[in-house]
Structure 1
Amino acid sequence: MSHLGRFAGHRPRRQRVNESRGQSVERSTSKFENKPFGASSARVPRAELAAGAAARQTASVGGQLGELDAAYFRGLEQAGIRLNPAQIAAVRCTEGPLLTLAGAGSGKTSTLVCRTGYLLDVRGIEPSGILLLTFSSKAAAEMRERIAGLPGIGEYEAGRIQARTFHSFCLWLLFSQGGQKEIFGDTRRQHIQLQQIMRELSLQDAYPPENLLALLSSYKVNLMTAQQLPEKSEADRQMKRILLRYEAWKEENGKIDFDDVLTGAHAMLKQRPELLERLRRRFTHLMVDEFQDTNLLQYEIVKMIAAPRNNLMVVGDDDQTIYSFNGARSEFILEFEKLYPKARVITLDINYRSVPAIVGLGNEVIRHNKMRRNKTLRAANGGSLLPAYMRPDSADDEANEVVEFIRREVAAGRREYGDFAILYRSSSSNRAVLEQLVIRDIPHIDYGDGRLLYEHWLVKPVLDHMRLSINRRDFDAMPSVLPTLYIARDKGMAHIRETDAGRPKKGPLVHLLTLPGLKDFQLDKIRQRLEMIRSLKGLVPAAAITQIRQSFYDAYIQAGEHSEQTSHREMLKEMLDELETSAGRFDSIVSFLAFVDDMLLRNQQTAAVKSQAQGNRVALMTIHKSKGLEFPVVFLIGASEGTLPHSSALGADSLRDTRVGLEGDASYAEALEEERRLAYVAVTRAKEQLFVSSPAMQRGKKAAVSRFLLSAFGQDTSASDAASRAEFGGRRVGAPDPGRFGKVRTGRMGRADAQPGSSGQSRGAAAPARTQSVPVWLCTSDSCVAWTRIMHSKDMNAAHKPCPLCGSPMKKGRKDVPV
C-alpha cells in the first residue's frame, strides 16, 4: 500500500496527546481526508486519461504530412521530442493569426520551441525575422536554449532570433534609436524619491510609495498618463500632485522606469511610421507566450508590429488570467476572433504534468467560471493518488500539521525538502507556516520579499508602541511612532535626543510637548498617546494591539488611505488581524516581544544564506508567484472563505480600485472569477500530490470551506456566496471591527449551543454571525454557564478565579464570541 494510504479514506489510528491546557484528549494522527469538509458528494473528480496515441503521436502515423514536414517531425522524435496532434497542428500553422489555448501543463513551451524550429527548418524563415515575446528573462533564455538544441539548428541561428521579454524588446528598440536615459528600476530608490517628494509637499508619509507606483502603473499600461489621474477628492488631488512631481523629476534627471520603457516604445512607433514599417518588414512572424498576462499597452505594441500580415501566434490560457492588478485582461483571449476574424484556434488539452485526480479537480474548480473558453483537460500520466483535504482549527494548527508532515516524509526518506511547495493567496497568510519552518530549522525559501510579518512597515509601529510600554526609554522604538502623531521622524527624534540629553526623562517621548510649532490639538494627542502607552503594560498582547488599533492606528491607516474603500486597505487590515492572531498565543507583552525578536533574529540568519534557486528547500510563495511552476508536492493553505476567495474580491462591488468600467455586480463577478482562476492555478501546480487545507478559524473569525472546493464536489454554493457577499461587501472595508476585545463581561446562556445575544432563530433564518476566538475564564460547575473574558496579564497568569455568579472555581479556555 502507498505510504499515503491514510489520506485516501483509510481510518487513521488515534493517539492520546497532551493539550496546552494540560488535558488529555483524543486526536487523529492525521487530519487529511479524501474530500473537503462539508462536501455533499463522495465522488472524487478525475480527469479522463488520454490514450497513448493521442498523448504522443509519431509523425509517421498521420500520413497526411508532406515529405519535408514528416522529415522534420521524425527528426524531433529521434531527439526525444514527441508531439500530440494538436501540438503538431499548432506547429504547422504558420500563416495568419493563431490562438493556441494551452491548458495547465499542456506542453506550450515545447509547441513554441518546435514551431520556431519548423519556421526555420521547413519554411525557411530568416532567424532575424522571428520575434518571440514572453514575460520573464528566465523563460526567454530557456526558449533560446531549447531552440538551439533542436535537430539541425545551432546556437548561431538561435542567437539571431529575437526571443525577449516585452521590456527587453522595447528597451532594445529605444536604445537602437538613440535613447540614452538611465533605467530607474530600483524599487527602494523609487520609494525614497517619492518620500522625498511627499516631504517637499508637506505630505510626510501620507501614502505608501508602493501604492503610488501601482496607481501610476495602472494608468500607463492602460494608455493613460499621470495628467489623466482623477481629482474627485482631496486624496486624488494630493496623489496626482505627488506623481506629477515624480514624473517631472525623472524627466529632469534623464531617468525612465520600466513602464516608461513600454510607453516610450509605443509612442515612438506611433510617431515614427517609417520605423514601424521597418519593424514590420523585418519581423514576419510574431509569437507571444503567456498571452493571458498581456496588458493593453503590450497588446497594442504587438498588434502594430504584426500588421498587416498578422502572422501572429499567441499562446495562453484564459483560465490562468490572474494578473488583472497589472492590467492583464482575459478578454484579449476571449475576443481574439473579433479582432482577427480569420484566426485559427487550437486547443492543447492534454496535461502532461499531473496525475488524473489533480487534473480532474482543476477541471471541476474552473468549469464554474462563466467568462471562459470551454475546455476540459485530459491527463497523460497515470497514478492513483488523490488530493487530500484538511480542516484544522486555525492557521497555527494548519502550520503544525503541514510542517510536521514534511518533516516526517523527509525523515523517512520518501521525499526531499525541495519536493515541497506551500502556496497561499496573500503574503500575510504565510505567517504561521513560516514561523514553524524557522523554529524547526527546516530549510526553506520564501519567494516573497523575505520579510516576516513583524518586519512590515504597517506592523512595526504597533510593535514599537508595545516596546515603549515595557521600556519607555527605547529610543529605537520611537521613530516609527512619530509619523502616527503626524510629526516628521528626523525632526522629532532630533528634538527628543537633544532635549533629553539635558533633562533625561523616564519617558523621553514627553519632550515632544516642547517641540516648536505644535498646535493645541496636537499637544492633546501627544498627551493621550503617552497615557495610552502607559496603559498597555498590564494588557495581554492581543488586547494591547486591539487597544492601539481602536485608539488611533486604524484611523491613522484609513487617513493614509483617505477613507477610500480599496483592496489595499483590506490587505492592511488583514495584516493587523494576523498580528492579533499571532499575539493571542501569548500571556504577556514581554513574552510576545521576546518571541518576535527571536523570530527576527532567526530569519535574518536564514536570509544571510538565501539564493534565488530553490535547491533542497521547501518553497513558500503566493499563488501569483507560482504560475508557470510545478512541484512534486503542493500544499495549498488557507483555502477558506474570506481568504480564497479573498475578502477583497467578495467586497469588490464596494471597492474603489476595481477595473475601470466595471461596477457593482460586474465588478463582483469579475473579481470572483479571478479568485477561482487563482484556485485553479494553485491546484494545477502539483504533479504527484496535492494537499488542501481550510482552517475553521481565520484571524479570529469563523471561516467556511472555500466554495471553490465544495462546488468541485457538486455542491451548490449559492447560499454561502450570498452570505459571504453580505458579510464582506456590506461592511466598510478596512474599518475596525466592533467588539474586538472589548470590555470584560460575564455572559449567561440559556442553551448550550446559543451565543450571547442570539435571538434563538433557526439556523437557516439568517447568515451566521461573524465570530472570533478569545481567551476566557469558564465556570466549572455543571449547573452554571458563566464565562468572563480575559483582558489583563494578571488574569492570564492567575492560577484560579471564583465564578462571579455561583462562586465555583473557573478554568481558562477559549470561546467563540460574535464580532
Structure 2
Amino acid sequence: MSTPAPSTARGAAATAPPTVEELLDRLDPDQREVATTLTGPLCVLAGAGTGKTRAITYRIAHGVLSGRYDPQRVLAVTFTARAAGEMRSRLRDLGVGGVQARTFHAAALRQLSYFWPKAVGGQVPRIVEHKAGLVGEAAGRLGLASDRLAIRDLAGEIEWAKVSLVTPDDYVRAATAAGREGVAGHDLTTISRLLSVYEDAKSERGVIDFEDVLLLTVGILSEREDIAAQVRGQYRHFVIDEYQDTSPLQQRLLELWLGDRQEICVVGDVSQTIYSFTGATPRYLTEFRRRYPDAAVVRLVRDYRSTPQVVRLANDVLARAGRARSSAAVELVAGRPSGPPVTFDVYDDDEAEARGVATRIAALRRSGVPASQIAVLYRTNAQSQVVEQALGEAGIGYLVRGGERFFSRPEVRDAIVLLRGGARAQVEGTMPEHVRVLLEGAGWQPEPPAARGAVRERWESLNALVQLADSLHETRGADMTAFVEELLERAAAQHAPAVDGVTLASLHAAKGLEWDAVFLIGVSEGLLPISLAEGADAVAEERRLLYVGITRARTHLTLSFARSRAAGGRGSRRRSRFLEGIWPEEGSGGRRVARGPRTTTAPTTPDDVDDALLERLRTWRAQVADRIDKPAFAVLHDSTLLAIAAAQPRELRQLAILRGVGPTKLQAYGAQILAVVRGEEPTLD
C-alpha cells in the first residue's frame, strides 16, 4: 500500500526546510492553534481567504518535522485533484515529502486497485469516463425519449442517488423526502426503473462508473475486516478539506478508514456550501461536535485575501439572508489595508455589459494588473460567449476554465516528450535556460505572438511551462530531472500551471480560486438566483454562490447586470434580490455607483497608505526588476506594495502575514523591504 516519497528537488538553490519554530512563526494565532493541535478530533471553521490551506498544510508539516507524524501515514483528502497537487507542492516546499494528498475518488481507486485481486479476484473492471452512453441505452430499453440535455440531467440524478446511498428500490421514498420532483419530464417511479436498468446495462458490459469506485471500496472495507485493518494500519492521521461538501457516500468511506479512532481534522465553511444538488451536505460539518463531543474547534476569521471593501460586501450578502445564521458560520474580519471601492454597473444589454467589462479589464492591465490575475465570473456557462467575443475584439487573451484540460492539449503533450528527452542530455546552463531552448523547438518564443486565437493559446500553454520552470528553480533549485518529474505528477493529477490570460469561469468552477480583480456579471433575477431555484433551500444556495464569487476577489471587484438580453430589447431585468439594500440607488452619488458602460481609471490609493513609503517601495521594486530582468509585478504586485505601505512592518514576522509575501518572497526580499520601510537604502543581493 505504501509508496515511496517523491524525489526531492536537486540543485544549489534549494533551501533547507524550516525549523518547527520558524514554521509556526509564519502563522497568526488562530492558524497557529490549528497547526499545534496535532491530535484529533479537530474541526476548523475557516472563512474564505483566512488561510485554511496554509493552516492545515503547516499542521501536517509541524507533525512531520516534530516527529509526531510519519508522512507515509498521513492522508489528506481534498475536493479536487488540483487542490491535492497544490498541497503536495506546498508540503515539498516546506521540506515534507511522502504525504498522500488525494481526492476521495483517487484514494479509493488506489485502494480498490490494490485490494480487488485479493477480495474479488482478477482486475478491477474498466471505469467508464462518461455515463451518457449507458444512460441513453437504459432510457432506450424503457422506451423513454431523451435528447442530449435530458440524458445529462438523468445522469446527474443517477449520481445523486448513488452518492446519497439511495438504491433503486428506495429511490421514490428518498427523492420525495429530499424534495426532488423528477428529472427531464419523468416522474420518480420512472427514474427508479431507470436506475435499475442502468445498473443492469453496466453489469452486462462489465464496467463500473466513478461512483462505483467509492461504493465498491466501501463494500470491501465493510465486508473484509482484514482489509479494513490493513488500510487503518497504513493511515493514522486524516485531514479532510472542504468538509461542507462531503456526500453520505464519502462520509461512509471516511468512517471505514477511521474505524474507532479519532485522529481526524476536518476543515470547512458552511457559507460556501454550493454543491447540494450533487448530494453534498454540510450536516457532517455542522454536527461534528455531536459525533465528537470532545473535539477542539478553531475558527479562522481573519481574511488575508480581500480588502475591507470586499469583505464588507461578502458579510452583508450573507447577513441579509433573513434567517438565523448557522452556529458554524464564520463572519469575516478584514485583515488587509483599505482598497478601492466595490463598483456596481448597469448596462442596457448583454453585449454592452461585455464591452464594458472588456474596457475595464484593459484599464486594469494598463495599471499593472496581470491578465492572469483577472477573472470574469458568471452563473451559467452560456454567459461566456458574449464576453469571449468582446475580449477577442479588444485583443485581450483569455482562457475558459472547464474547457480542454491543460495536460490534454497537443502542444503540452509534445512539449513534455521534448522535455523528457532533454532531461537525459548533458547541457550547460540552468534548468530554465535549458527548458527555453527545448521549447523553442516546439514553437515557443520569448515574446507573445500578435495573432489571436489558436496561435496565441498555443503560445500561452508553452509559456506556462516556462514560467513553471522558473518558479521551481527559484523555490526548490529543481534541475531538469526534477522538473520533468513535477510535470508528470501534475499531469497525473491535472494540476495545471497558471496560464497568462483573463479567466472566464462559472461560479461553481471558481470555487477555491482567487484573483486580484473579479468581474461578476449577470447579477440579476433569473440568473442569480437562477430561475430554476425553487424553494428556500435552493435560493439560499444561490446566495452562497454569490458569496463565493465575491470572496474570490483580492482587491478589485465589479458587479454588473444588463437590463435586456439583446440591444433594443425591453429592459425588464432587475438586480438580484441578494443585493437589495446593498446596491447603490440611482443618483445616490456614492463612490460605489457606476451606471452604464464607461471607462474606469487606474485603481485609487487607499487613504491609510504612506504615499512617500509607497513611492520608495516602487523605486526599490523597479531596481530589483531591472536587476533580475523581469517585469515589476513579478517581484511584487501593486496590491502587495499597498499592503506594505499601509502596515509598515518592522519585523519579518509582520511582513510574512501580508498577502503576496510568501516564503520565497520573504527570503529573497524581506530584509530589503524592511530597510525601505525604515527609510534606509536597501542592499540589493
Assess same fold via TM > 0.5: yes
Paired with 2:93 and 2:498, the residues of 1 have a C-alpha distance of 25
Q: Which residue matches 1:637?
A: 521
Q: Do residues 244 (structure 1) and 196 (structure 2) align? A: yes
Deviation at 1:276, TM superposition (A): 2.1
Q: Which residue matches 2:124?
A: 181
Residues 615-647 of structure 1, C-alpha deviations (whole Å, 9 max, x = no match): 221111111100110111100001112211222
Deviation at 1:206, TM superposition (A): 5.1
Higher relative contact order (CA 8 A, sep 6+): 2
SS at match of 1:105: coil
Q: Do residues 261 (structure 1) and 213 (structure 2) align? A: yes
Q: Do residues 142 (structure 1) and 100 (structure 2) align? A: no
Residues 472-522 of structure 1, C-alpha deviations (whole Å, 9 max, x = no match): xxxxxxxxxxxxxxxxxxxxxxxxxxxxxxxxxxxxxxxxxxxxxxxxxxx
Deviation at 1:75, TM superposition (A): 2.8
Paired with 1:196 and 1:284, the residues of 2 have a C-alpha distance of 44
Please give the root-mean-square deviation of Cα atoms over the aligned residues, in Å. Answer: 2.9
Paired with 2:141 and 2:280, the residues of 1 have a C-alpha distance of 35
Paired with 2:361 and 2:545, the residues of 1 have a C-alpha distance of 24
Tell me which of 127, 132, 137 is aligned to 1:191: 132
Tell me which of 612, 616, 626 is aligned to 2:510: 626
Q: Which residue matches 2:628?
A: none
Counterpart code for 2:508? H
Deviation at 1:245, TM superposition (A): 3.0
Counterpart mapping for 1:295-310 below 5 A: 295-310=247-262
Q: Which residue matches 1:420?
A: 374
Residues 226-269 of structure 1, C-alpha deviations (whole Å, 9 max, x = no match): 34333999644544444433322322333211111111111222
Tell me which of 271, 276, 299 is aligned to 2:223: 271
Tell me which of 537, 540, 557 is aligned to 1:673: 540
SS at match of 2:554: strand
Residues 556-584 of structure 1, C-alpha deviations (whole Å, 9 max, x = no match): xxxxxxxxxxxxxxxxxxxxxxxxxxxxx
SS at match of 1:106: coil
Counterpart code for 2:43? L
Paired with 2:501 and 2:459, the residues of 1 have a C-alpha distance of 12
Paired with 2:456 and 2:203, the residues of 1 have a C-alpha distance of 40
Compared with structure 1, are the counterparts of its residues 636 and 280 closer, same or farther at alpha carbon in structure 2 (3 Å cutoff)?
Answer: same
Matched residue count = 466
Conserved 8 A contact 1:91-1:112: yes
Counterpart code for 1:416? P
SS at match of 1:224: coil
SS at match of 1:688: strand
Q: Which residue matches 1:706?
A: 576
Counterpart mapping for 1:610-621 below 5 A: 615-621=499-505
Paired with 1:137 and 1:106, the residues of 2 have a C-alpha distance of 21
Paired with 1:236 and 1:607, the residues of 2 have a C-alpha distance of 45
Paired with 2:338 and 2:310, the residues of 1 have a C-alpha distance of 10
Q: Which residue matches 2:31?
A: 87
Q: Give the TM-score taking structure 1 as reference length.
A: 0.53
Deviation at 1:430, TM superposition (A): 2.5
Counterpart code for 1:708? F
Q: Which residue matches 1:394?
A: 349
Deviation at 1:91, TM superposition (A): 1.3
Conserved 8 A contact 1:140-1:165: yes
Q: Do residues 333 (structure 1) and 285 (structure 2) align? A: yes
Paired with 1:603 and 1:244, the residues of 2 have a C-alpha distance of 46
Q: Which residue matches 1:784?
A: none
Q: Which residue matches 2:11?
A: none
Counterpart code for 2:523? A
Tell me which of 114, 119, 140 is aligned to 2:63: 119
Q: Structure 1: any 5+ residue segments left out of the alignment?
A: 1-70, 452-601, 653-667, 716-819
Deviation at 1:164, TM superposition (A): 1.3
Q: Do residues 97 (structure 1) and 41 (structure 2) align? A: yes
Q: Which residue matches 1:695?
A: 562
Paired with 1:258 and 1:234, the residues of 2 have a C-alpha distance of 24
Q: Which residue matches 1:167?
A: 105
Q: Do residues 648 (structure 1) and 532 (structure 2) align? A: yes
Conserved 8 A contact 1:353-1:381: yes
Q: Do residues 209 (structure 1) and 209 (structure 2) align? A: no
Paired with 1:311 and 1:89, the residues of 2 have a C-alpha distance of 16
Counterpart code for 2:225? P
Compared with structure 1, are the counterparts of its residues 616 and 298 closer, same or farther at alpha carbon in structure 2 (3 Å cutoff)?
Answer: same
The structure having more radius of gyration, on CA atoms, is 1
Q: Which residue matches 2:399?
A: 445
Q: Which residue matches 1:45?
A: none
Q: Which residue matches 1:405?
A: 360
Counterpart mapping for 1:285-324 below 5 A: 285-324=237-276
Residues 386-422 of structure 1, C-alpha deviations (whole Å, 9 max, x = no match): 1111111222221111112223443x35333323100
Counterpart code for 1:125? Y
Counterpart code for 1:216? I
SS at match of 2:505: strand
Paired with 2:135 and 2:551, the residues of 1 have a C-alpha distance of 39
Paired with 1:630 and 1:603, the residues of 2 have a C-alpha distance of 25
Residues 435-470 of structure 1, C-alpha deviations (whole Å, 9 max, x = no match): 32244443111124579xxxxxxxxxxxxxxxxxxx
Deviation at 1:213, TM superposition (A): 1.2
Paired with 1:606 and 1:670, the residues of 2 have a C-alpha distance of 43
Deviation at 1:178, TM superposition (A): 2.3
Residues 719-766 of structure 1, C-alpha deviations (whole Å, 9 max, x = no match): xxxxxxxxxxxxxxxxxxxxxxxxxxxxxxxxxxxxxxxxxxxxxxxx
Counterpart code for 1:194? V
Compared with structure 1, are the counterparts of its residues 299 and 383 closer, same or farther at alpha carbon in structure 2 (3 Å cutoff)?
Answer: same
SS at match of 1:389: strand
